Amino acid sequence: MKRKVTNSLRARLLLLLFSAVVITACIQLFIAYRTSLDETNEIFDYQMQQMALSLRPGLNFDGYGSNGFRQDEEESFEFIVQVATTNHKVLFQSSSSTTLPLRETTGFTLFDARGTTYKLYTLLHGKQVIQVAQDRAARRSLARNLAIRTTTPIMVMVALLLFMVWWVVTSSLAPVYRVQRQISTREADSLDEVDTAGLPNEVRPLVEELNLLLRRMRQAFNAQKNFVADAAHELRSPLSALKLQVEQLRRAHTEKDREVAVHRLGTGIDRATRLVEQLLVLAKQQSNSNSNNSTKHFDINRLCLVAFTDVYPLALQKHIDMGLSQTDECFVMGQEEAIRIMLRNILDNSIKYSPEHGKIDFKVILNGRSVCLLIEDTGPGIPESDYARVMDRFYRIPGNPVSGSGLGLSIVKTIADLHSATIEISKSNTLGGLSVSVTFQAYRLVTAPR
């Protein structure tokens, strides 16, 4: 759990930034508290001092009159205190040279004297007017000092906070930059996956998706490469045979040799023809997938019978016991001709690979909402490792001795895909050979046909 939290970019940023803010705020709080205490203390002390100093010259304690000032004393003009009566008789004055203007109302006002501005507080008390004035410049400078001393630590803390934020963000995003570097420095045609170790949770799904994409691209790339290699093999072999057969015919000297050569050439041409036909069927079915023009519902059972009779003579030639052993009635939506071609290819395969006197079972099984066409044979089957590739165009199981175009099952798959049907290849449990099942969605009419 802990690993997960620190592995999330969001959690990590929040955690570290919160800590940074809390730490700096605490320090700042402490410093501000201490500074304010010290500063206000100092100001209060200073003002007490000033007050004492300003009261000193106006007091008549050594024989001078109330207006008698000790001229030799240095005057302080920061604070001026004056007590007068409402009819302008001055009772007390801290500064001999500056007389405060009398005001009729209690409160703060401003006045200019001695080339500076004073802030004046007037208190009316019965018939007495008590006034205190303070040099505004001195006040300001005091306040400024206080403000500067309070804000200096804040600035230091802000700098510290900025540095911490920079460090947190940079170190948290480091894995993202690493992935970026990894991707930007790879070779143009490299489809290798990106390392996801140590990636934060927010970026990991992105990189994993990217890796999935890369894997799919690699598979597609390999499939394409396999296809080209397989196609080269499958297209060249019949041509190779034809070329040699023609050479043989050319070199035949006796009538018997010529007969053999012509016969062989004939079978070679048949083989090449079949390949071209299968290629055309495949191309046609693949282009069909875009236009569902001839789609309609039809009795799949009747169609199976047609496909069955198509190939029955071939089965007879090899004395194969081929039969329709289950025929559930059902309707399917699709292209009749395409499905007939598909069934023909499956049955052709079964006949081709079944031994003489083998057995092929063909079943149409209705299964609730779906209908399954199941074809099983007594042939050698397909190794499980080849299930994945056997539907690839031109793929032939290594060492397959039976000649063929390598396109039969590709055609089957293309047509099945066209009808959203699923193909399943497995080992037949009943006959021991190959079992091919094609499952369609059943199509039911509201009113029963016939």
Rounded CA Rg of the chain: 52
Using CB under 8 A as the binding rule, whether residue 398 contacts other proteins is answered as: yes
Which of 22, 232 has the CB closer to other proteins?
Answer: 232
Q: How far is the CB of 318 from other proteins (least distance, A)?
A: 17
How many binding residues for other proteins (CB under 8 A)?
28
Using CB under 8 A as the binding rule, whether residue 241 contacts other proteins is answered as: yes
**Interface residue with other proteins, options 19, 36, 86, 267 (CB under 8 A):** 267
Single out the segment in contact with other proteins by CB under 8 A; choices: 56-64, 114-122, 273-281, 399-407: 399-407
Q: How far is the CB of 231 from other proteins (least distance, A)?
A: 10
Q: What is the dihedral of CA 66, 67, 70, 71, to 10 degrees?
A: 180
Distance, CA of 336 to CA of 298 (rounded, Å): 7
DSSP string, 211-237: HHHHHHHHHHHHHHHHHHHHHHHHHHH
Single out the segment in contact with other proteins by CB under 8 A; choices: 239-247, 306-314, 366-374, 411-419: 239-247
Tokens of 167: 């460090």
Q: How far is the CB of 432 from other proteins (least distance, A)?
A: 20
| List of residues 6+ apart from 101 with CB closer than 8 A | 111, 120
Using CB under 8 A as the binding rule, whether residue 223 contacts other proteins is answered as: no
Q: Taking the CB of residue 383, how many other CB atoms lie within 10 A of it?
A: 11
**Interface residue with other proteins, options 50, 98, 226, 248 (CB under 8 A):** 248
Strand (E) positions, 177-317? 296-299
Using CB under 8 A as the binding rule, whether residue 56 contacts other proteins is answered as: no
Single out the segment in contact with other proteins by CB under 8 A; choices: 241-249, 314-322, 355-363, 410-418: 241-249
Distance, CA of 78 to CA of 320 (rounded, Å): 127
Q: How far is the CB of 193 from other proteins (least distance, A)?
A: 23
Which of 133, 261 has the CB closer to other proteins?
Answer: 261
Using CB under 8 A as the binding rule, whether residue 254 contacts other proteins is answered as: no
Residue 396 · residue 386 · CB < 8 Å: no
Which of 368, 401 has the CB closer to other proteins?
Answer: 401
**Interface residue with other proteins, options 60, 67, 240, 325 (CB under 8 A):** 240
| List of residues 6+ apart from 313 with CB closer than 8 A | none
**Interface residue with other proteins, options 26, 244, 262, 280 (CB under 8 A):** 244
Q: What are phi and psi of 289, to 5 degrees?
A: -60, -15
Using CB under 8 A as the binding rule, whether residue 233 contacts other proteins is answered as: yes
For Cα atoms 41, 43, 44, give the angle at the middle one, nearest 5 degrees.
65
Which of 31, 242 has the CB closer to other proteins?
Answer: 242
Using CB under 8 A as the binding rule, whether residue 263 contacts other proteins is answered as: no
370-377 vs 434-441, strand pairing mode = antiparallel
Q: How far is the CB of 269 from other proteins (least distance, A)?
A: 11
**Interface residue with other proteins, options 264, 274, 318, 427 (CB under 8 A):** 264
Q: How far is the CB of 407 from other proteins (least distance, A)?
A: 16
Using CB under 8 A as the binding rule, whether residue 401 contacts other proteins is answered as: yes
Which of 186, 251 has the CB closer to other proteins?
Answer: 251
> How far out from the chain centre does Cα 224 lie?
28
Nearest to 282 by CA among 237, 346, 338: 338
Q: What is the dihedral of CA 46, 51, 52, 53, to 10 degrees?
A: 90
Q: Facing residues of 128 across strands?
A: 85, 125
**Amino acid of residue 104:** E
Single out the segment in contact with other proteins by CB under 8 A; choices: 91-99, 173-181, 191-199, 238-246: 238-246
Single out the segment in contact with other proteins by CB under 8 A; choices: 30-38, 63-71, 240-248, 439-447: 240-248
DSSP string, 177-190: HHHHHHHHTS-TT-
Using CB under 8 A as the binding rule, whether residue 271 contacts other proteins is answered as: yes
DSSP annotation of 74 reads P
Using CB under 8 A as the binding rule, whether residue 226 contacts other proteins is answered as: no
| List of residues 6+ apart from 267 with CB closer than 8 A | none
Distance, CA of 50 to CA of 133 (rounded, Å): 12
Using CB under 8 A as the binding rule, whether residue 379 contacts other proteins is answered as: no
Distance, CA of 117 to CA of 133 (rounded, Å): 10
Using CB under 8 A as the binding rule, whether residue 262 contacts other proteins is answered as: no
Residue entry with tokens 């930007």 = 184
Using CB under 8 A as the binding rule, whether residue 251 contacts other proteins is answered as: yes
Q: How far is the CB of 414 from other proteins (least distance, A)?
A: 24
**Interface residue with other proteins, options 58, 175, 200, 268 (CB under 8 A):** 268
Q: Residue numbers of the site for other proteins (CB under 8 A)?
A: 229, 232-245, 247-248, 251, 260, 264, 267-268, 271, 398-401, 403
